[in-house]
Amino acid sequence: MTLIRFKASQEQDVDLSRTYDAVVVGSGAAGGMAAHVLTTKGMKVLLLEAGKKLPIEQELRSMEWPYDHPRRGEFPPGNHAIRYNEYTIRQPPYAKKTAFKHVYSYVGGWGGSDYVKNILVDEKDHPYTGTRYAWVRARVLGGKTNIWGRLALRLSDYDFKGKTHDGYGEDWPISYADIEPYYDKVDLYLGISGHKENLRHLPDSLFQRPNKLTASEIRLRKSLGQMGRVLTPYRAGVTTDGVKHNKYRSKCFGRGACGRRPGGCDIHAAFDSPTGLIYPAMDTGNLTLRTNAIAREVLVDPKTGKARGISFVDSQNNRTYEAKAKVVILAASTLESARLLLLSKSRQYPNGIGNSSGHVGHNFCEHVMGPGATGLVKELVGRTPTLDDGRPGGFYVPRFRNLEDKQPGFIRGYGFEGGGGFSIFPSGAWDAPGFGGQFKKTVREHAGAFISMGGFGEVLARYENYMDLDPEVKDTWGIPVLRFHYEFGDNEKKMCEDMATTAREMFEHAGIEVVGVDKTILTEGWSIHELGTARMGTDSKTSVLNQFQQSHDVRNLFVVDGSSHVSASCQNPTWTIMALAWRSCDHLADEFQKGNL
Ligand SMILES: Cc1cc2nc3c(=O)[nH]c(=O)nc-3n(C[C@H](O)[C@H](O)[C@H](O)COP(=O)(O)OP(=O)(O)OC[C@H]3O[C@@H](n4cnc5c(N)ncnc54)[C@H](O)[C@@H]3O)c2cc1C
Ligand code: SF4
């Protein structure tokens, strides 16, 4: 079958002599959404993206079988992905003094690294310093959405009103009712697959057709039901029924390729920002895109104190340029947006723009992960193979701790992501006993009988977990890099102990033989769900942004990515990032119309 690929029809030439209505920095989930909403409302928008525009289908090659690739998908020689032990034993910058030509984050070490070598940043060009941290970055058009894991979850008032619930931290300046209509808009515009469960702590989306659960997953779902817990099909940011209003995307064919490698769907059934948001925005005729444009500083009008544009470095020729705009919107991802705010020092804003509170870079939060379990469903050993992994995800077990109960030792909660059944590479093959023909027989017979799951827990936002600028180290373009001051606390460690215990308990309750329980806590940053470095709030002394992600200090400056989140919740953040960005940009466009910015 031939897929027809469309090019965005109305690509605009970049005109740096012009003052745009808005300049957006970053083209991932947040920046793509800002571009979509503002251009639809008629604003003329310039989108600056530090990375290049890749022929992404040629990179991802989702239909390529491992044996069709000369190295079964592995990196070419000279490339290296940082391993868990390196993150643990060494200090950043991890690529310093290595003999490898190119060094990538741990995600490059997943099967199929060759498909992401042009998507992930080379750590040699992009160092950072301080405490250990596994920082995964994708500097290309669309950012991390090109390879994300697709789990698309809503937050609830257990998250937005966490302080009211348990007394810790700060409540968000919004509640679920404020964001619910925007979650709905994101669901309908981008497509999401899933199954309704009517849970207060994990609100349902407007779902398209859900993934099928496998035999072992159905067994676990039934058993969890008896325990008062839930296993639901993976809520995937994937259109399983198609989105007719978008000509750049296809509905999911269930090939499972996105699950075999670090994400990626070359027919764009899985959401990615370029096909989901940016190309349609270009088709309005209101969007101009400048790639290879590394924002260096938010420029300030010394007379008014307002933002007047962005100074950026061309990554190819190293020259500096200015982009002028009436409104500046940062969406460079949580850590890069904080870096940009801190880099933007001026007479008016000596601590960095928007930082009169001193909270920029602070209150960092994310998800802690590592603990989980692997089990074997004995009754399924020897069964005829079925196509189990032809789907964009496995299952999700929503949070069940500290809802109506109160756990000793830790507050907040965690959920599990998992999967069971046959997969392209047979589960359990590495650990199977035997040799030769007997080994192969054992592997084949057991391949579909394994099930595993791993936890994602809320890391508490703490002022003392922060990032600032390193006074000495710079990246390849001479821009000061981030320095981390961050480590997990006691709450996270206690929560992880509980994760390992409950993973075992749930498998045992389902009559699944537990073949392994992992208690290792992975390095800080591993979840790739970084949040909180410019949080929203009602008090300008303790927060950076208001409820519309608008700077308390500079009214025409907005930061619409995960840096605005007040707490991490334990649900994956991307759907919330986009719903919030949509809400804020609706407000922004109204204020712009009224001349209030
Ligand atoms: C392997 C993987 C699995 C994931 N799985 C999930 C999941 O299952 N569910 C989930 O919710 N989330 C998941 N995530 C996280 C998800 O991808 C992010 O939450 C989301 O992409 C954040 O959007 P963003 O726009 O803030 O950042 P990004 O998508 O990172 O986009 C930021 C963009 O800004 C650009 N940029 C950075 N600095 C500058 C600068 N100075 N100037 C100009 N441009 C700049 C970058 O190049 C990038 O294109 C996963 C991520 C990865 C990598
Ligand atoms: S399973 Fe669906 S979302 Fe995943 S790669 Fe295949 S078509 Fe894309």
Chain mean position to CA 472: 29
pLDDT > 90 fraction of the chain, expressed in percent and rounded: 90
Cα 456 to middle of ligand 1, angstroms? 18
- Residue having the nearest C-alpha atom to atom 6 of ligand 2: 255
Cα 159 to middle of ligand 1, angstroms? 22
- pLDDT band of 157, cuts 50, 70, 90: very high
Task: Give the model confidence (pLDDT) of 315-372 as tens digits.
Answer: 999 999 999 999 999 999 999 999 999 999 999 999 999 999 999 999 999 999 999 9
Task: Give the model confidence (pLDDT) of 47-86 as tens digits.
Answer: 999 999 999 999 998 888 889 998 988 998 999 999 999 9
For the CA of 259, the closest atom of ligand 2 is 4
Residues 6+ apart with CB under 8 A from 590: none
Please state the pTM of the whole predicted model: 0.97
Question: For residues 489 and 500, what is the distance between their CA atoms, to the nearest angstrom?
Answer: 17
Ligand 1 neighbours by CB, cut-off 6 Å = 25-31, 48-51, 107, 136, 138-139, 143-145, 147-151, 262-263, 293-295, 331-333, 336, 340, 528-529, 561-562, 572-574, 577
- pLDDT band of 226, cuts 50, 70, 90: very high
Q: How many CB atoms lie within 10 A of CB 165?
A: 16
Question: For residues 202 and 155, what is the distance between their CA atoms, to the nearest angstrom?
Answer: 6
Among candidate residues 509, 8, 495, the one with its CA nearest the CA of residue 221: 509
Task: Give the model confidence (pLDDT) of 504-517 as tens digits.
Answer: 999 999 999 999 99
Instruction: Tell whether the model's pLDDT for residue 5 goes beyond 80.
Output: no
- Give the residue, 273 or 429, on which the prediction is more confident: 273
Q: How many CB atoms lie within 10 A of CB 590?
A: 13
Cα 143 to middle of ligand 1, angstroms? 5
Cα 238 to middle of ligand 2, angstroms? 8
Instruction: Tell whether the model's pLDDT for residue 2 goes beyond 80.
Output: no
- Residue having the nearest C-alpha atom to atom 46 of ligand 1: 139
Cα 186 to middle of ligand 2, angstroms? 19
pLDDT > 70 fraction of the chain, expressed in percent and rounded: 98
Q: How far is CA 93 from CA 107, 108, 132, 593, in A?
A: 17, 17, 9, 46
- Residue having the nearest C-alpha atom to atom 3 of ligand 2: 270
Ligand nearest to the CA of 264: 2
Please give the pLDDT value at position 365. Answer: 98
